[in-house]
Amino acid sequence: MRNAPARPAGGRAAAPKTGGTRPTPTSAPAPAQVHRPAPLHPGAWWLWALSLGTAATRTTNPLLLALLITTSAYVVATCRRTTPWSHSYAAFVKLALAVLLVRLLFAITLGSPIPGTHVLVTLPELPLPDWAQGIRLGGRVTAESLVFALYDGLKLATLLICVGAANALANPHRLLKSLPGALYELGVAVVVALTFAPHLIADVQRLRSARRLRGRPDSGIRGLLQVGLPVLEGALERSVALAAAMDARGYGRTAEVPPRVRRTTTALTLGGLLGVCAGTYGLLTAEGGTYGIPVLLAGLAAALAGLRLGGRRTPRTRYRPDRWDVRSFLVAGSGAAVAVAMFLAGASDPAALHPGVVPLVAPTLPLLPAAAVLLGLLPAFLAPTSKEPSS
């Protein structure tokens, strides 16, 4: 007899193999890629924020200043991404509050040039010598002087908050990459500083934690020396490695430029920077409001021309340079429109932008400047609202 085929241990015969193929499981469809708009040019954010800050310097109306602060805060809350520099806005807000408190404290202790009749409190006054005429310590504190100090300090606080908005929204690395060639060395130095500072802080925290785990002191002179020396050693090693990498990549290579072009570049750059300083001073003071804008524009034009000529000495290429698209122009233009509207409103109705304090009057909200400030909200509808970290 032929032996029977062996059966499996379970007692059942093996199922015969069929000629069909085993069905493969169907794979899930690939998720559709969500198209995210490209981030705005960092220069557009800075132009938008500086334009709002320029508008803040043209008024002491607390209602308009509060509207400017609200506009910048809403844009930051809407367009800010999850990045290490996005948390700087809170630091600038705290700095602005500190500046406002210091301005009020100076008005209380050192007095104010604004005369007032509503005396709030009388502090003990210290006698000063004759050469310190015009300065007093203590004395009467009036409501008019405090209101004047509040308006003046709020203007500077608004300017700081607008600068903080630019720091929170603009990528500093991309901004430095977009600098002209004349500022290439300065940009590299800033990039190196921004890169090495977090490493130094991380090294200090790591070494202090290691010393605490070993039961060794991490404070005092001895602990500072024993932590500081390894940190300096690591910083020197990174500096040598960075110098070798920069030397291998040809850093410092310059092109031949005629002496006439170098002299022209130096004259345009220095003259333009002096013009920018003089124009900015004219904008911040009431006496220089007539010449501030022309001098500032002329200085900017000269400085930009000097930087353009200076870029010929450092030929370099950029990997994926940031482009000024339509949204970037609209964002920068919305801030510029706010600044221009504030200048026009100050020329036509200065009393609305600068409420009086002697006698005390309640500030009113002018409609046209307020509507112009609302143009600064345009980036909230144009910029990407994705909360993912930007590259």
Q: What is the DSSP string of 325-375?
A: -HHHHHHHHHHHHHHHHHHHHHHH-HHHHS--TTTT------HHHHHHHGG
Asked if 305 and 268 touch (Cβ cutoff 8 Å), the reply is: yes
Percent of the chain as helix, strand, coil, to the nearest 5: 65, 5, 30
Name the band, by pLDDT with cuts 50, 70 and 90, for residue 126: confident
- Model-level pTM? 0.67
List the alpha helices (DSSP H) in 17-142.
Answer: 42-56, 62-79, 88-110
pLDDT of residue 119: 76
In this prediction, residue 389 carries a pLDDT of: 44
Q: What is the per-residue pLDDT for 36?
A: 58
> Does the pLDDT of residue 71 top 80, yes or no?
yes
Residue type, 33: Q
Q: Using alpha carbons only, what angle is made at residue 379 by residues 363 and 97, rounded to the nearest 5 degrees?
A: 45
pLDDT tens per residue, range 17-31 = 444 455 555 545 544
| Average pLDDT value for the chain | 76
Here the tokens at position 283 are 């904008």
Rounded mean pLDDT of 139-155? 85
Nearest in space to 355 (alpha carbons), one of 148, 116, 61, 158: 61
